[in-house]
Chains A and B, each alone.
Chain A
């Protein structure tokens, strides 16, 4: 049972602030960026049926929050919740992004894929080693990039026409090689974006950590509805084995 507040960003973007489900539990005390929660308002009853998976945007004594964009029926109704409405949350779920304190680290985010990196950036002990490259379609004001830019180097690229996308891919091609062999490359965003990152790092003999999105029903590895193709292990649940995978582990 969870009370909540919410903060609207521009457009269809929201930070949903929930009462922390269990701040003292070991799982929550040790949660790490990259993990996610399943969120499901009680008022949904049986329709929509599934909870919705979201990266953890923030979780501390002030609450738990997720950052999301309205993309369908579930997120549309989540955006309309009022303070006091009950929400069931289960998590933290899944694995996390690697942290290499002294390694140059490139964070690649596409659209709402920026969400898990807010806390990654905030917690990192050596922010001078971090660089964020952010590709997006709606205006940058829709996203919480400004707060991250106070701490680390951020470059934002907006796509308004097909040529912008070509420019962005070219930028990725220039920036990734510097990090993918000796440093660390982390990426979260839409599937085509992750595939592009996977291709570029492979071309340069390196690898990246990719956080996969997938349709999920249970979030705990039981329904087998969110599997991806793991080169060694076969089909594995993104929710339980991931959502973060090394780019050379999986086939899209």
Chain B
């Protein structure tokens, strides 16, 4: 079957992307598979200047999931563009830059710089990170702020599609989705991690130095599916689904509730070649289920 998908100004050879923060800058995984087989990768969140992130410990294992409080450690956008981007096969798959900033102005500056980079296929705007004290999730919990950041990025993004990544840590995710869509988002990505914590009953200490972190992995898949389902019915903007995808069956579930593409996150840690194998597995499962077109299958959930 034809695995290609096109939506929101983005064309992918298949609907499988990697999620930001779970795939480094792409090069970390080249020994486990060919990047060019993927629809694309979303690189580790980039800020204007390099960031060192939060103190250790900053990851904890939970039942069918993990908590992280990395705090957006990254090499900075210029280092990425100069040292990592040229090594990625950007002509064969989409390289999507994930942006993090503390203000709408900074987001716009990042967008302006990245919009001039030919190897970057799209910009994913992180307004939903729970692990940083300024910016991050605050933008994603207030519809006005979400709209302001979206507008600022759109103004400077040139012809690059703008993806707004939403947080599930809100009362009504459709409200934020509408705000971002109204402000011109080309694509919505949902969801980012769920806010959570883990403690040690013996030592009476939190398991993360930051105390609270973001929960990811198969444990959050039902929440992510619900969010994609709700938002796909509320706004007319294409959606990338992410949250706990760990099989080809999971991919189809997200497409069924309305996603145009998906991102694989924590499953990259379960086994490092997972996302590469997923491309073939998805094609086989489509054949087994008699699915011949993603466009036809998308949103065909029987209620």
Contacts and interface: CB of A to CB of B under 8 A. Distances in A.
Given A215-B59, A220-B28, A235-B53, A49 B270 contact: yes
Given A222-B22, A227-B56, A235 B73 contact: yes
Contacts of A225: 57-59, 68, 70
A46 B29 contact: no
Contacts of B268: 218, 222
Contacts of B222: none
B83 to A, nearest CB: 14
A187 B88 CA distance: 37
A142 interface: no
A40 B271 contact: yes
A223 interface: yes
B254 interface: no
Interface string B12-56: 000000000111100011011000000000001000001011001
A160 B139 CA distance: 55
Q: Is chain B's binding surface mostly helix, strand, loop or mixed?
A: loop
Contact of B64 (A40, A47, A219, A222): A47
Contacts of B62: 49
A98 interface: no
A224 B266 CA distance: 13
Given A40-B271, A46-B217, A223-B269, A90 B32 contact: yes
B65 interface: yes
A221 B218 CA distance: 22
Contacts of B22: 218, 222-223
A155 interface: no
How many of chain A's residues touch chain B, expressed as a range?
A: 20 to 34
A50 interface: yes
Given A46-B218, A48-B61, A49-B217, A222 B28 contact: yes
B272 interface: yes
B272 A90 contact: yes
B52 A234 contact: yes
A217 B73 CA distance: 16
A156 interface: no
A215 B57 contact: yes
A240 interface: yes
B29 A220 contact: yes
Question: Which of B23, B28, B64, B66 neighbours the largest number of chain A CB atoms within 10 Å of its CB?
Answer: B28
A223 to B, nearest CB: 6
Contacts of A234: 50, 52
A40 B59 CA distance: 18
Contacts of A27: 31
B28 A217 contact: no
Contacts of A88: 271
Interface in B55-89: 56-66, 68, 70, 73
B61 A224 contact: no
Contacts of A214: 56
Nearest to A221: B28
Contacts of A46: 64, 217-219, 246, 270
Contacts of B269: 49-51, 217-218, 222-223
Interface string A216-252: 0111111111111000001100001000000000000
B193 to A, nearest CB: 13
Contacts of B219: 46
Contact of B271 (A90, A222, A226): A90
Contacts of A222: 22-24, 28-29, 268-269
B70 to A, nearest CB: 5
Interface of A: 27, 38, 40, 46-51, 88, 90, 214-215, 217-228, 234-235, 240
Interface of B: 21-24, 28-29, 31-32, 44, 50, 52-53, 56-66, 68, 70, 73, 217-219, 246, 266, 268-273
6 contacts: A218-B28, A219-B272, A220-B29, A222-B268, A223-B269, A227-B53
Given A49-B270, A235-B52, 7 more contacts: A49-B65, A49-B217, A51-B269, A90-B272, A218-B269, A220-B32, A223-B59
